[in-house]
Structure 1
Amino acid sequence: MGHQPSAADCFALICRALRASTLFAEWPLPSIERLAKMARLEHHKKHTQVLAADRERREVLVVVSGSVEVSRTNADGSRFVGILMRAGDCSGLVRLLPEIRAPYDYVVLEEALLVHAPSDAMIEIMNDEPILWRSVALLLLSRQRDNAVSMQQRVLSDLSTQLAARIVELLAASDISGAGGRGQSLHLSQSKLASMLGKSRQTINKELGKLSAKGLITIDYGKIDVLDLPALEALAASGSSR
């Protein structure tokens, strides 16, 4: 039987995780501790779905370790993968708005430890200290910028450029996760990559072959090795400069 962390250990870990996240990094310690007292720490096994029992539960999720895929499936079964959350990432800010429904799926790709922070508790703390809303505004503006760039790439760039941009983005995310050093490999299936770009696996396989023929990457089962990162970054950047 494994060792169960004490309440004090969980509280300390939640505080550290919040302070290490993008959203809460500039919050003062008393505010962090206030939220940590109302948050909970949950371990999620690989391939399980977070919030499966209540997909619209109003919580902000912060990744302590592991990785979580945020996706959406429509009525006919078509699936779109939005982002991959890794250590320090957070999701669910739209749940700060009580009238907004957000039926996203959170699927654990690598065994994950998550902080579940109640939306109402966050709102109460930020209303008591309005300056804390600044962190929410800055993060949302950053994401709006990223979404605008992504939309521009989809409209103005060819698929090879879009694919290069997504690979570069995922490599950067793996760096943030604390692997140490600049990552050169992605452990990701072509089906997953296809879902992120809204294309078929066969189409993505063809485009990966083009990047491989240029000497930028090599492809293996469930893995992409980047051979020339500067050239891949240059290709990715060409889409946003058009």
Structure 2
Amino acid sequence: MNGDAWRNRLLSGQWFSSLPAALQDSLIDSARVKRLLPGKALFRRGDPPCGLYAVLEGAIRIGAVSDEGKQTLLSRIQLPYWFGEVSLFDGLPRTHDAFAEGHTILLQVSQPKLEALLEKEPQYWRYFALLMSQKLRLTFVHLEQQSLLSAPARVACRLLLIAEGYGEINHSRQVIELSQEQLALMLSMSRQTTNKILKDLESQGVLEISYGEIRILDLDKLRAAAS
């Protein structure tokens, strides 16, 4: 896969497509491809900053495991999602673990190359701040949903968010490759509660459940359930 192929895939994402052409070129020219086998760690909580990443194929699972062994899952991200920018701003260690889901291909722009680029072109800081602020906005929305929405609405909201690529893609995904257990972890719900809600949505013709994936049948009904 060459630089033009990378660009074409990444242009399907709103953040990258909104960048000035010169910044797009700089990121592509500075990047290298990184391939991960299923279950392989990209980085772990406490690791030093290692740059900015974009998902080209496969998926990355972002989460953590507590000292007591309790697992959390924040998100599961796919093409054309960019991540890793927080450590670019503060230079501090990684806050969570990142693991490959299936065979995964990433584009990596290393921390030194990013810092050199921004030293030369400081006006580009704004675009990385926008990338981070988009995720901060989603975090606030999620916290509000946790407090105010019913469990069924929270499930619908999260499915809608994943289907729309966390706001990165224009056309919603019809198939979400996500197990019920993973969805339950994302929402801090029991698997039993999550399963019941999914079954209810399935009976309403909103979605279809199969092993390891959820197929959206009616996006409008899913939006209505989320509201």
Q: Same fold (TM over 0.5)?
A: yes
- Conserved? CA contact 1:56–1:103, under 8 Å: no
- Aligned residue for 2:138? 146
- Residue 159 of structure 1, CA deviation: 0.6
**SS where residue 80 of structure 1 aligns?**
strand
- Aligned residue for 1:206? 196
Distance in 2, Cα, partners of 1:214 & 1:18? 35
Which piece of structure 1 moves more, 88-97 or 99-108? 99-108
Distance in 1, Cα, partners of 2:102 & 2:128? 27
Residue 229 of structure 1: which of 208, 213, 219 is its match?
219
- Aligned residue for 1:134? 126
- Conserved? CA contact 2:49–2:93, under 8 Å: no
- Conserved? CA contact 1:24–1:32, under 8 Å: yes
**SS where residue 132 of structure 1 aligns?**
helix
Structure 2: 5+ residue runs without aligned partners?
none
Partner AA of 2:67 in structure 1: A
Q: How many residues align?
A: 227
- Aligned residue for 1:120? 112
| Structure 1 residues 213-238: Cα deviation after superposition (integer angstroms, max 9, x where no partner) | 433233222232333321111121x2
- Residue 19 of structure 1, CA deviation: 5.9
- Conserved? CA contact 1:174–1:183, under 8 Å: no
TM-score relative to the length of structure 1: 0.79
**SS where residue 69 of structure 2 aligns?**
coil
Report the CA distance shift for 1:37/1:221 in structure 2 as closer, same or farther (over 3 A).
Answer: closer
Distance in 2, Cα, partners of 1:91 & 1:174? 12
- Conserved? CA contact 1:211–1:217, under 8 Å: yes
Distance in 1, Cα, partners of 2:166 & 2:130? 22
Q: Pairwise CA RMSD of aligned residues?
A: 3.0
- Conserved? CA contact 1:96–1:120, under 8 Å: no
Distance in 2, Cα, partners of 1:37 & 1:232? 40
Please give the residue correspondences for 1:58-137 in structure 2 after superposition, counting only pairs within 5 Å: 58-137=50-129
- Conserved? CA contact 1:22–1:90, under 8 Å: no
- Conserved? CA contact 2:15–2:168, under 8 Å: no
TM-score relative to the length of structure 2: 0.84
Distance in 2, Cα, partners of 1:209 & 1:190? 11
